[in-house]
Amino acid sequence: MSKNSGPSDEGEDIVVDIEAPPAGPAEFEDPDDREAAESGPTDLPGAEAPLEGAPDAPEPSAPVEVAPDAPRSRVRLVAFASGRGGTGRSLLAANVAVYLAQAAKKVVALDADPAGGPLHQLLGAPRPPRGFGEFLRGKASSLNELIVDTPIAGVGLVGGEGSAFGTTRPKQTAKATLAAIAALDVDYVIVDLGPADSTLTLDLWLGADVPVLVTLPEPASVESTYRFAKSAFLRRLRSIRGLDRLVASSNGPPVAALDLFRAVKLAGSPTEKLEQEIRSFRPTFVVNQTRTVQDLKLGTWIASAARRRLGHALEYLGHVEADETVWLAARRHRSLVAEYPEGKASKNIERLGRKLLSLDNERERPSANVAPLRLEEEQTYYEILETEPGVSDEEVRRAYRSIKDIYASGSLVIAGLYEDHELAELHARVNAAHDTLFAPDRRRLYDLALPEADLARAVRAAANGGRRPSAPLPTTEERAETSEMVVDPDAEITGEFLRKIRQSRGIELGDISQRTKISERYLRALEEEDFTDMPAAVYIRGYVMEYARALRIDAHRVTERYLARYRKNAAAPASSAAT
């Protein structure tokens, strides 16, 4: 985990200079202490007048200098949080810890709920006599002395205390906790965070290398997930010099990042710093207890809606299916992954674990160049329909229908995101986009009027066959870091070989299908070598080529070797029929 400026134990001012933000996850001071100690002008940097309705803000102290060559802790902190209880957050935290231990990683699971959560039970261990509260009260000098063994080899536990409900919580200081985590001699610390209304929860989640939100396919849970993301971002801004002045009183509903961006822009103030923070805020999330086909699509839709309404790129890690083995393992006080490794939920958690392992390097790379952040009312018609210039009329119609369904009144995806008038305005823009892009003459004139940057994107889209990539294409630096896997010229390329490469990289078939526009049915047939369920050989060549490119392996060599195997299997039945 990173060792940037963090929350202050003694209440001193720790301020991050946003002119040169440190790489990696941010760690924060307690803004409440600073606000109580100081007050100052409310003018935005570079603004002639403060924003209307902006709260009084303190005059920040000098930024703390962080040495660029400061040593980086090898500990990877993964923090699980949720906007409300009952999401299965503790279950996922416990079993992800087990999976990582099975992958030969040294892991500590930390129950960071001061009142004590069920993490010990889900790992099959008794509640430790001393827990995390001891550290918060200063009765333990380090977390090392609180770690106990569990029945799972490679997993240590810092448990909760199980104190009486209603008792006073110990002093909550995230800076000391993050420093203590960084000092541990382990590969991963998996934190099961406490109530969402705790500043300790927000600060530990913000300080994690991989902050994870857990939600359910139900309106109250989805709404609380958005609210947690908005609250965490505001908490982050309150500790950043200059941007702390934008954050109003903590009373009332949290403000969306794009609404802050709109206010700054309308005030004529510089927006670059705020835009940088909005883009760098990239939490991940998991949809738990999925049951229907619609539930399986929910994660992708939530990521899209959050990007449109909040401005953040929430990264969808995957789903966990509802499975009776979950409560069976819980009743027996056993780890789900260890007790029922072949269960649906266990397989889903294994995929999450592989994805987390693959995130180690990916999240540290600089993101590819992207278009400037735009408010919803400033988006082009292509952005409104979430498609690209150069797509066919049928793709425009399909995108239109999808957007109308996802953003329909009462849709699960937009729970808590839009007011009624905002949703009506969105639908009006969507209808206008469809009416223009679906009419060839109108579309031609509209394309000619696009800004130069969007015209360049149109040219690239046309050169790419008019297909919209489902994920940003890698930059030159990223391609250098993730060079294509070299395939032995004499190696036999089987469907099982391709499947193992895909799983080792934490990629699901749905991800490849979305990127390549190839049906999951055919992709699955490629892996299972179910040649009877495949189209003509000319299509198979294209499918294998796109599949290999998605995995970043030698596409041409893999395609030729796979087709040789296909022809061999196709010729065998013909020979048998002839005899």
Q: Do domains 377-463 and 476-578 have the same CATH topology?
A: no
Do the beta carbons of residue 448 and residue 258 sit within 8 Å?
Answer: no
Residue whose C-alpha is closest to residue 92's, from 57, 120, 119, 121: 119
* Superfamily of chain region 476-578: lambda repressor-like DNA-binding domains (1.10.260.40)
Amino acid symbol at 462: A
Class of domain 377-463 (CATH, top level): mainly alpha
> Which residue in this structure is represented by tokens 């198979």?
540
Whole-prediction pTM: 0.70
Where b means 16+ CB within 10 Å and e means fewer, 174-191 reads bbbbbbbbbebebbbbbb
Residue 123 φ then ψ, to 5°: -100, 5
Do the beta carbons of residue 245 and residue 42 sit within 8 Å?
Answer: yes
Burial degree of 196 (CB within 10 A; 0-12, 13-18, 19+)? buried
Burial degree of 483 (CB within 10 A; 0-12, 13-18, 19+)? exposed
Domain ranges across the chain: 76-362, 377-463, 476-578
Class of domain 76-362 (CATH, top level): alpha beta
DSSP secondary structure letters along 444-481 = HHHHHTS-HHHHHHHHHHHHTTTPPPSSPPP-HHHHHH
Could you give the CA distance from residue 276 to residue 232 in angstroms, rounded to a whole number?
16
Tens place of pLDDT per residue across the chain (579 aa): 544 434 433 333 333 333 333 333 444 444 444 444 443 333 333 333 343 333 333 333 333 333 333 344 689 999 999 999 899 999 999 999 999 999 999 999 999 987 778 999 999 999 998 999 889 888 999 999 999 999 999 999 999 876 666 666 666 678 999 999 999 999 999 999 988 888 899 999 999 999 999 999 999 999 999 999 999 999 999 888 888 888 866 677 899 999 999 999 999 988 899 999 999 999 999 999 999 989 999 999 999 999 999 999 999 999 999 999 999 999 988 999 999 999 999 999 999 999 998 886 554 544 444 556 888 888 999 999 998 888 888 999 999 999 999 999 999 999 999 999 999 999 999 999 999 999 999 998 898 888 766 656 555 555 544 444 333 333 333 333 334 455 566 678 888 888 888 887 778 888 888 788 788 888 888 888 887 777 776 778 888 888 888 888 888 888 888 888 888 876 665 555 454
pLDDT digits (tens, 9 = 90+) for 30-54: 444 444 444 333 333 333 334 333 3
Give the distance, in angstroms, between the CA of residue 262 and the centroid of all CA atoms in the same chain. Answer: 24
Residue whose C-alpha is closest to residue 50's, from 212, 264, 361: 264
pLDDT digits (tens, 9 = 90+) for 531-570: 777 777 677 888 888 888 888 888 888 888 888 888 887 6
Inter-helix orientation angle 555-578/537-551, to 10° = 150
Beta bridge partners of 156: 108, 149
Q: How far is CA 14 from CA 21, 61, 334, in A?
A: 13, 8, 43
What single-letter DSSP state applies at residue 483? P
Amino acid symbol at 381: Y
Q: Which residues contact 431 (CB under 8 A, 6 or more apart)?
A: none
Could you give the CA distance from residue 250 to residue 248 in angstroms, rounded to a whole number?
6
Residue whose C-alpha is closest to residue 284's, from 229, 216, 221, 227: 229
DSSP H stretches of helix in 385-466: 393-406, 420-437, 440-448, 452-463
Do the beta carbons of residue 204 and residue 177 sit within 8 Å?
Answer: yes
Could you give the CA distance from residue 9 to residue 175 in angstroms, rounded to a whole number?
7
